[in-house]
A and B are shown apart, each in its own frame.
Chain A
Amino acid sequence: MKTRRIDNYGKINRDKILSFSWDKKNYKGFEGDTLASALLANNIGIVGRSFKYHRPRGIFSSGVEESGALVTIGSKDRRDPNVRATTQELYNGLEASGQNAFPNVNFDLAGINNYLGRFFAAGFYYKTFMGIPPLEWGKGTAIWMFFEKFIRKAAGMGSASGLPDPDTYEHAHDFCDLIVVGSGPAGVAAAIEAAEKKLDVILVEQDSLIGGNQLAENDFDNSQIKNQLENLGIKIMTRTTAFGLYDNCVVGLLERVTDHISAPNVNIPRQRFWTIRAKHIIVGAGAIERHIAFNNNDIPGVMTVNASKHYLNRYGVLTGKSIVIATNNDSVYETAHQLSEAGANVTVLDSRTNFEIETNKSFEIRKGYVPYNINGSKKIDSLDISKSEIINKSETINCDQVLLSGGWSPAVHLLSHRGVKPKWDYNNACFLPSDTKENITMVGSSRGLWNKNDCIASGIAGTTSVLNRLGISKTNYFFPKPGGWKNPIQPLYEVKYKKSRSKSFVDYQHDVTTDDVRLAHREGFISVEHLKRYTTLGMANDQGKMGNIIGLSLMAELLNKEIPEVGTTVFRPPYTPVSIGALSGRNVGKHFRPLRVTPMHQWNIDHGAKMIEVGLYQRPWYYPKENETLSDSYIREASTVRKTVGICDVTSLGKIAIQGPDSTEFLNRIYSNGFSKLQVGKARYGIMLRDDGIVMDDGTSWRLAENEYFMTTSTGEAAKVMSWLEELLQTRWTDLNVNVTSVSEQWAGVSVAGPKSREVLNNCVDDSFVITNNNLPFMGVTSTFLKGNIPCRIARISFSGELAFEVYVKSDFANTMMDLLWENAKKYDGCLYGLEALGALRVEKGHVTAAELDGRVTIDDAGLSKMASTKKSYIGSAMRKRGVLKNNDREILVGFFPVKLKETFNAGTIVCEKNNIKGQGIGRITSVTYSPELGHWIGLGFVKGGLDKWKDTNLVGADPVRNKQINLKVVSPHMIDPKGERMYA
């Protein structure tokens, strides 16, 4: 195959040959190539198939705006679909393949869609739901079902691997005075000016090389610029895209760290997601050349003029031999000249009739001519051209390439992310950035400047404005006026020629044609946002970077309005696609969220614990002996606790130190029950309500000294309670002298529960005298020492309903405490018990936990009315009986037994009356366990009216999710030892 590479052109390294494969065939390219330039050099014209019609697609551009050359890179678990070949750097061994085609892009069976165009016109998806004429009137669903498989397969371009991503990604952060986006003449001038004035500058460039569009110039060498930037201490970030601007000058960057390397170091992340906090932002993101809509303007071989200049001067690839350039502006003539110098036969069609251009006459200029139809299918055979006024007099030029320039669109995207609407400029036929109050300045061709000198001047002016804002200078500055061409542009978006049935493309990737825009208009979709959604114009990977303006101009014409009256769609981040991997960074797998473990975590595992997640915490779930299942294990553990003794890690409970002279008053205000008379050396169970009278949390507070308390909270609400206490003290009760400190991590806690718990504890403490019933009665608190001189806090608190103690030591002593307790518990045939047994024990006792206190429950609902003091006011006391909270049909805490004791049921079951099983029923079951003590399954839950109302009535537990129903009877929630004789023992 002949190469299109020509000698003496380009900045590629011809000494370094790279091998790559395209659709499984091997080719060669050079270091410095993109995949697109290497494909072009190898004369590969068709690189993809379009979305709907499966028309052959070539390479349209040389940058991020590419909407034709979307390919799949890599294979297996590193398969990356929808990569723009124009920005993918070539590396040795790169594997690339075409997309959206079967068996391949050259011969695609689905190309038949091209002839079924009417089924794929705008709104196809929406219409199929309603029916395709003449099969309308409700038959849409059947049609959709028929088409669905086919559509699903055809929808989307490349496909993801479906395998776990083997690469790593990183989140990184940085700060600077000024971030400059784009390293063209304007960006570089701005960065240098700022760095010379001692600002801390980051310069971001999406390309692998700095220079911007100067890289398309044949005599451009960036080495000097690079040295200057580096010497000034500017942080240069290449291969990095500023994909979004956010509040407070925060910029999101995507750095492609290894996407250009054949065998990257596995210790280096593939991509980095940067969050930059800048004081100012200067955007010199350049401008994007537009194409022109006319019949068959998508045939491979069509390209923007600027792209062809890039391929020639940067990559040494002459993209055509017989080239026709169609334009409406001055920007193409230098390229025309260079292409003809490089050996191409060039003709320029300029839609303008009155203009002067200096050329060396190496190419022909056809003034007042426009292209209106390309002949050819997989490649260009010839171009039909005409005088621009009347498109009918045919003249045909044989050519193999058509280059288009319908004007330039400044890249205003980043500013648009900040909600700043661009304004239409009639003189330059483009949207220009509007001013913003934020510290964001647009420079260079992003503000519609077409001359290099104007760009440089705007860069310096941009930085001067920044220096003024920062108070570093007080210098006058001016931005050059937009424009800069000798002859004005003549707007040209579409060349209409209605004699052919060919298609005229606005959006190449999504196959949006000019007819689609007209159809949308006919069907009433005239708002830009509707147009976009109905036709999917601008919704492909390129987000309409090339086609949006053409679509707008067509709609403007149809509505008899000007473009600015039609509006522009809002650009949203990201500017170019950001991989999900980069967004998640290292927050994947086990690192998805923080993991909290207790200080005896390893001890628990070493002693056979199976763990379960409770919030962020890992807690022991059950401790199976050999061959024991979960239920075998927890039933044994719970029975052992009731019979002798068990030990359970309760470290995950929230722990708060409350200190200061007003501590008692503080607790008395936040708890619903009284705390003013709690003696030193005693603990009390307390309930906290929210302002609105709903239960927030329950826990205990231990009075350690006159002005010192130790509070425990539930595991789940620990952080919330801590913030709440701080809020009250810092915002509402600022006169109270109280200090609260979270000590959750500082103390390790266990519960020692069961009739033998006192004996076990006595064997573990230095002075067994302190643990007697007299010295440590129910709810008593003591500070003493475990054997080995380990200071500890012990309170006689019971969650299980047995005689029980909570023991806390400093976290460092957790393992020692566990060893000591376990050694002695074993002497009494005790056990270690986990969360499942803990749950069984507390459900038997009717003790509520997070499953019951779900943020909808009042103190009365939970059956804890006696915990609501009538002698004082407290948080929530004014509201706990408001409106609906005082209705007498509220759901009240009760226990549930199955009528047939052998039957089981599940939490989540809906409680209904026998002959009225529907909807939300009359209650719900929140916790279910097997009760070792009672020998059958039991549940806790809520039912309207509570026990009093349903005591003698059988109800139905409906479990539609599991397709189960069970007869239930309502019992007291205190299902064993209702008088608490065991706790007080």
Chain B
Amino acid sequence: MIRINCPYCGERDHSEFSYGGDATINYPSLDASEKDWTEAIFFRKNIKGFQFETWHHSNGCRMWLVVERSTVTHEIKSVKPCHPDLQKVVENNK
């Protein structure tokens, strides 16, 4: 079982979370071209090792998180809020 250390709630079972997707995607602006959007939503790397991915603490604080997780071992290196303002709050409270 993957355990995720939510910056707000603490370490919880992955069953409390929902997987989002690749956290490194920079979504294009809404008026960007079909090509840019195709690139952003359909093309994914198949990483062996650590990758940044989003998880939603859907059965918890409802925060969207960036989780740095190994696709090989499930080891998690870091967990941060997606929202930069929340990231700052977490940093300041350390």
Enumerate chain A interface residues (CB-CB to B < 8 A).
246-248, 250, 275, 277, 437, 669, 691-692, 719, 723, 726-727, 729-732, 734, 873-875, 877-879, 881-882
Q: Which residue of B lies closest to A692 (CB)?
A: B41
Contact partner, A730, options B33, B38, B41, B82, Cβ 8 Å: B82
Closest Cβ of chain A to B3, distance in Å, is: 4
* B64 with A275: CB separation less than 8 A: no
* B41 with A731: CB separation less than 8 A: no
For A719, what are the chain B residues with a Cβ–Cβ distance below 8 Å? 58
User: With A692-B41, A723-B56, A878-B33 known to touch, is A730 a contact of B81 (CB < 8 Å)?
Assistant: yes
Q: Scan residues 1-54 of chain B and give those whose CB is less than 8 A from a CB of chain A.
A: 1-3, 13, 18, 20, 23, 27-34, 36-38, 40-42, 54
* A250 with B84: CB separation less than 8 A: no
* A878 with B3: CB separation less than 8 A: no
In the bound assembly, the distance between CA atoms of A657 and B28 in angstroms comes to 27
* B31 with A878: CB separation less than 8 A: yes
User: With A732-B27, A875-B30, A879-B38 known to touch, is A248 a contact of B2 (CB < 8 Å)?
Assistant: yes
Taking the complex as formed, is B77 at the interface, i.e. its CB lies under 8 A from any CB of chain A? no
Q: List 20 A-B contacts (CB under 8 A).
A: A247-B1, A248-B1, A248-B3, A275-B13, A277-B1, A691-B27, A691-B41, A692-B41, A723-B58, A726-B56, A726-B64, A730-B82, A730-B83, A731-B20, A731-B23, A731-B82, A734-B84, A873-B29, A877-B30, A877-B31
In the bound assembly, the distance between CA atoms of A538 and B73 in angstroms comes to 28
Q: Which residue of A lies closest to B40 (CB)?
A: A691
Q: Which residue of A lies closest to B62 (CB)?
A: A726
Interface Cβ pair total, 8 Å cutoff: 76
* B83 with A734: CB separation less than 8 A: yes
In the bound assembly, the distance between CA atoms of A727 and B27 in angstroms comes to 12
Enumerate chain B interface residues (CB-CB to A < 8 A).
1-3, 13, 18, 20, 23, 27-34, 36-38, 40-42, 54, 56, 58, 62-64, 73-74, 81-86
Contact partner, B34, options A275, A277, A882, Cβ 8 Å: A882
* A879 with B37: CB separation less than 8 A: yes
Closest Cβ of chain A to B80, distance in Å, is: 12
For A875, what are the chain B residues with a Cβ–Cβ distance below 8 Å? 30
For A730, what are the chain B residues with a Cβ–Cβ distance below 8 Å? 63-64, 81-83, 86
Closest Cβ of chain B to A652, distance in Å, is: 19
Closest 10 CB pairs of A and B: A873-B30, A873-B31, A730-B64, A250-B1, A731-B82, A878-B37, A248-B3, A247-B74, A730-B83, A691-B41
In the bound assembly, the distance between CA atoms of A728 and B81 in angstroms comes to 13
Contact partner, A878, options B32, B74, B81, B84, Cβ 8 Å: B32
User: With A726-B56, A731-B83, A734-B83 known to touch, is A247 a contact of B34 (CB < 8 Å)?
Assistant: no
In the bound assembly, the distance between CA atoms of A246 and B18 in angstroms comes to 19
In the bound assembly, the distance between CA atoms of A466 and B13 in angstroms comes to 23
In the bound assembly, the distance between CA atoms of A691 and B37 in angstroms comes to 8
Closest Cβ of chain A to B86, distance in Å, is: 8
In the bound assembly, the distance between CA atoms of A618 and B74 in angstroms comes to 38
For A729, what are the chain B residues with a Cβ–Cβ distance below 8 Å? 83
* B41 with A250: CB separation less than 8 A: no
* B64 with A882: CB separation less than 8 A: no
* B41 with A727: CB separation less than 8 A: no
Closest Cβ of chain A to B52, distance in Å, is: 12
Contact partner, A879, options B3, B31, B41, B85, Cβ 8 Å: B41
* B84 with A731: CB separation less than 8 A: no
In the bound assembly, the distance between CA atoms of A877 and B28 in angstroms comes to 12
Q: Which residue of B lies closest to A438 (CB)?
A: B73
For A248, what are the chain B residues with a Cβ–Cβ distance below 8 Å? 1-3, 74
User: With A248-B1, A277-B3 known to touch, is A878 a contact of B63 (CB < 8 Å)?
Assistant: no
In the bound assembly, the distance between CA atoms of A840 and B53 in angstroms comes to 44
In the bound assembly, the distance between CA atoms of A343 and B18 in angstroms comes to 66
